[in-house]
Structure 1
Amino acid sequence: MPLTDAKVRSLKSRDKDYKVGDFDGLFVLVKASGSLSWRFKYRFLGKEKLMVFGDYPAVSLARARTLRDDARVQLSAGNDPNALKQAAKRAQLAQASETFGALADSFLRKARAENLAASTLSKTVWLLDMAKADLGKMPICEITAPIIMVTLRKLEARGTYETAKRLRSKIGAVFRFAVASGAADTDPTYALKDALISPKSKPRAAIINAHRLGQLLRTIDGYNGQATTRHALQLLVIVAQRPGELRQARWAEFDLVKAIWTIPAERMKMRRPHVLPLPPQAINILKNQHFLTGNGDFVFPALTTSKRCLSENTLNMALRRMDFGADEMTSHGFRATFSTLANESGLWNPDAIERHIAHVDKNAIRGIYSRGEYWEERVRMARWWADNLNKIKSEMD
């Protein structure tokens, strides 16, 4: 006879557990402790099996019958309902462990294995740490575009629009990594592409006026701070490379006899090695610096330890102490100074200038036909640039 709610409520415990049946395999197990547990007995592939639906009254009689009926539908389709239940539970547990933070950490391990530049890794860690503060403990499959937008709006509220844009990109990279590993289905950041405030493009400050450049060059030569900082700035003006590439330079990269500097791929932005011709002025600066740091690894070590290179802010702070503000000149701006004046001279192939400062043509087809190193022209151009700097410096006295 089928059970009723009143019948179930009236069941009392005994010295031993006992069963009271409903119908179609459903029964309630009355335990000696007094608790009531719904069970479903069925046969699958000739074997008797048992499913547990939960305790009464948390699981009512009506709910227990619904669960029983669902299980019977699965049986009729040739499936073991208990196996399906356990698989769903495992999937749920897996999803709970696949948090954004865990996937972000895996993404970072992949990035480190790819030998990305230290500065690139540092920025990636910094951005993902911001994301993990809000999203880290959430299962990645539960994170939606509006949830991500809340995090990005915090940055926009502070006016850091470029950081918000970069953070969206990095979160998207983690999601694409998660999609590839099966932890997520889509990248929700794609829907946010046009939702953020676009930062106004602001080029790095650079001096391109010859008179003011001459003042800067003379001020650098007279800088009374650390000699290593002075030499780094003097060399940066001549070679016109990225400050990070110069700061992290090692003596093993220089051949002062052949007058070349080979920057390894792992330190280059485009992950390609870059060979630079060195004019005599650059060789002289390096020889002077060699007296100071030639016994170590770094050409321009930190002021407090030879185990690290100059810090990212050292060169810019030196410019500030020389009264050249951030709105007028930055250490990265020497590249723009070289590029502008070299192009304005009309003496050099624009492709040779771009190759010299390690710019890669964004036009893929054009890039295929512009792979020449322009080496001979770059050697002449490097000497012209160093001589021209001396001329600018002397003519402005």
Structure 2
Amino acid sequence: MPLTDTKIRTAKPTDKAYKLTDGLGMYLLVNPAGGKLWRFDYRYFGKRKTLSLGGYPDVSLIEARSRRDDARKLLAQTPPVDPGAVKKSLKHNIYGKQQNTFEVVAREWAESYFINKSSSHKERTLRRLEIYIFPWLGNRPIADITAPEVLQVIKRPQNQSKLETAHRALQAVGQVMRYAVQNGKAERDVTADLRGALPTPQVKHMASFVEPRQVGELLKAIDGFRGTFTVECALRLSPLVFTRPSELRRAKWSDIDLSSGIWAYRVSKTNTDHIVPLSNQALQILKQIYPLSGHGEFVFMGGHDPKKPMSEAAINAALKRMGYDTQTQITGHGFRAMARTLLHERLNIDPVIIEHQLAHKVPDALGKAYNRTKFLEQRKIMMQAWADYLDELKEAKP
């Protein structure tokens, strides 16, 4: 039932806070201290959020409903607008110059830019800005910031031998600047004047084996490894699927169809859906571990908490126990480079098909982005051929 003024006035506080629901996501939160606060619950791109509409009696029932309806209108737009972000923006407007400081605009940009991206990516980017940018440029009006100022700040991590961090920080500043230009808060992106100002970082390739003999020896060593059954299975599956280590350790049973031999999941790094055709050998490993973890969420459960995935360090730790140097020889991520090289050089697989299986964004001739189902039949054949080839290498005599 909708609320009435009488019901609101007569609502008494209790030992715990409680809600009086009005409808369409709005309710009155009655606190133990006697305060009565209007709240509106909503979802923005699937994420649950709560908007404060003010306190009663300063904000009447009629006014609270009006504010709720305004918020719903924002959410009904195409694309939808987050009423919480709008409120923050208006709040900053009240404080005059505070509204367009670099930090305020950067956080506003982050709320918009990372909607469909992983929370960890957002946290890393904001943390980088908080450490290397905000202390020096955070309180500056973004429209007044100059290229030399940005360069001076960016030089700090470079002088600490953190060249890659400097490049990433500069990239984030540029994204914030372009957002400011698009929203009328700055005239231009001054980072455009800094192209070439930082030396190019040296690309570090993940350690890997690409010689068939080395790969055969590695596979034999993996078969002989003795650790927890979870890590044993994950280690044996790694070269067969050559996904990113983070994707393997977070594999969920809900994403795997053992009957059709398909593993379909969302790649957080590229924000794309991806399909991994499972070879007979891969299916055999998954069926072996199913009795252990099939009742839970993750295929490879954590050793201390089965509700969490296996540790991100587990695969590399196992390789180290086997005597491999993860700096110069092989890492969990190195299985991707191993497959990429040998599939092309030894099995003569089209590089485009390989790149699709690696979940890389590969535009086609028309400029269309990665399609998870493209070359799926060819990829199924490739994945089985790859598994058979690995068996041959493992069985080959020294």
Q: Does TM, normalized by the shorter one, top 0.5?
A: yes
- Measured against aligned partners, the alpha-carbon deviations of 1:350-395 in whole angstroms (never above 9, x if no partner) come to 3222222223335653758999722222222111111111221121
- Measured against aligned partners, the alpha-carbon deviations of 1:140-178 in whole angstroms (never above 9, x if no partner) come to 233322222222212111222222111110111112222
The residue that corresponds to 1:298 in the other structure is 298
Q: Distance in 2 between matches of 1:292 and 1:377?
A: 32
Root mean square deviation, CA, Å: 2.7
The residue that corresponds to 2:356 in the other structure is 355
User: 1:133-144 alignment to 2 at 5 Å?
Assistant: 133-144=135-146
CA contact (8 A) 2:117 2:268 kept: no
CA contact (8 A) 1:156 1:197 kept: no
CA pair 125-290 structure 1, distance change in 2 beyond 3 A? farther
Q: Distance in 1 between matches of 2:388 and 2:280?
A: 9
CA pair 369-123 structure 1, distance change in 2 beyond 3 A? closer
Q: Distance in 2 between matches of 1:332 and 1:369?
A: 21
The residue that corresponds to 1:19 in the other structure is none
CA contact (8 A) 1:351 1:370 kept: no
SS of the aligned residue for 1:365 comes to coil
Matched, 1:280 2:280: yes
Matched, 1:194 2:196: yes
Q: Distance in 1 between matches of 2:103 and 2:228?
A: 42
Aligned length: 305
The residue that corresponds to 1:38 in the other structure is none
Which residue identity lines up with residue 358 of structure 2 in the other structure? Answer: I
Q: Distance in 2 between matches of 1:98 and 1:234?
A: 53
Which residue identity lines up with residue 395 of structure 1 in the other structure? Answer: A
Q: Distance in 1 between matches of 2:235 and 2:99?
A: 50
The residue that corresponds to 2:269 in the other structure is 269
Q: Distance in 2 between matches of 1:366 and 1:155?
A: 36
CA pair 136-116 structure 1, distance change in 2 beyond 3 A? same
- Measured against aligned partners, the alpha-carbon deviations of 1:23-50 in whole angstroms (never above 9, x if no partner) come to xxxxxxxxxxxxxxxxxxxxxxxxxxxx
CA contact (8 A) 2:235 2:315 kept: yes
The residue that corresponds to 1:126 in the other structure is 127
When the two structures are superposed, what TM-score results if normalisation uses the length of structure 1?
0.70
SS of the aligned residue for 1:273 comes to strand
Matched, 1:390 2:391: yes
Q: Distance in 2 between matches of 1:321 and 1:152?
A: 40
User: 1:79-94 alignment to 2 at 5 Å?
Assistant: 93-94=95-96
Q: Distance in 2 between matches of 1:141 and 1:376?
A: 52
CA contact (8 A) 1:95 1:183 kept: no
The residue that corresponds to 1:321 in the other structure is 321
Q: Distance in 1 between matches of 2:310 and 2:199?
A: 35
Q: Distance in 2 between matches of 1:262 and 1:293?
A: 18
User: 1:239-254 alignment to 2 at 5 Å?
Assistant: 239-254=241-256
Which residue identity lines up with residue 139 of structure 1 in the other structure? Answer: P
**Deviates most, 371-380 or 361-370:** 361-370
The residue that corresponds to 2:374 in the other structure is 373
Q: Distance in 2 between matches of 1:258 and 1:384?
A: 17
Percent of aligned positions that are identical? 34
**Deviates most, 222-231 or 201-210:** 222-231
